[in-house]
Amino acid sequence: MCAKQSVLLLVDLQERLLPAIHDGRSVVAHVSWLMGVAQALGVPVLASEQYPQGLGATLSTLRSQLKTGAVVEKEHFSAVSGGLLWKAPGGERHQWIVTGTETHVCVQQTVLDLLAAGRRVFVVEEGVGSRQERDKQLALERMRSHGADIVSREMVAFEWLERANTDVFRTVLKTFIR
């Protein structure tokens, strides 16, 4: 994963959906952490919202950190359907770091469509969630079998950083990794 080639995607981390997600607060904490690292390194962050009229907007704590034009509303389960992601800031990048909910529905369908479109996809294990833990695990296995890499948030951060002994490394280390 290279920061200059990556985009971080938050799939459907929405107000009314998250209370039903197994360990949802932890998922949000991990995603927020990774958003901070992405922003420190200049990696674009995008978010999708599944039918926001019914499920609400992206959590305000996450949405407040997003740039204008970074949120894509959708009705299809896959965030790729309709092509709006490609037009969002960073949508042209080749490496997609994916987080969000639900792992076995919108995350999985988005990941499979990104792979079919020729993108390199990395799913952050602690940054995805489903109502049932078993559904999450099955989806991770399926996405891996189709070519997605299943990674941790620190794997992403350290690959984006590439090297130690730089000002940005020290900032990220002090602020996020400690």
Report whether 150 contacts 30 (CB < 8 A). no
pLDDT band at 26 (very low <50, low <70, confident <90, very high): very high
Would the pLDDT of 1 be above 90?
yes
Segment 102-129 mean pLDDT: 98
Query: Which of 71-75, 100-104, 128-132 shows the lowest per-residue confidence on average (mean pLDDT)?
Result: 71-75
Q: Looking at residue 172, what is its pLDDT?
A: 84
Q: Looking at residue 163, what is its pLDDT?
A: 87
Angle at alpha carbon of residue 39, lines to 64 and 124, rounded to 5°: 90
Chain segment 111-122, per-residue pLDDT in tens = 999 999 999 999
Locate 27 and state its tokens.
Answer: 């998922």
Q: Looking at residue 175, what is its pLDDT?
A: 83
SS3 sequence, 19-56? HHCCCHHHHHHHHHHHHHHHHHHCCCEEEEEECHHHHC
Q: What global pTM score does this model have? A: 0.95
Q: Looking at residue 64, what is its pLDDT?
A: 92
Would the pLDDT of 178 be above 80?
no
Chain segment 11-23, per-residue pLDDT in tens = 999 999 999 999 9
Segment 47-73 mean pLDDT: 92
Q: Looking at residue 12, what is its pLDDT?
A: 96
pLDDT band at 129 (very low <50, low <70, confident <90, very high): very high
Q: Looking at residue 162, what is its pLDDT?
A: 87
Q: What is the CA radius of gyration of the chain?
A: 15
Segment 104-117 mean pLDDT: 98
Q: Looking at residue 14, what is its pLDDT?
A: 95
Which domains, from first to last, does the chain contain?
3-177 (3.40.50.850)
Mean pLDDT of the residues in the chain? 94
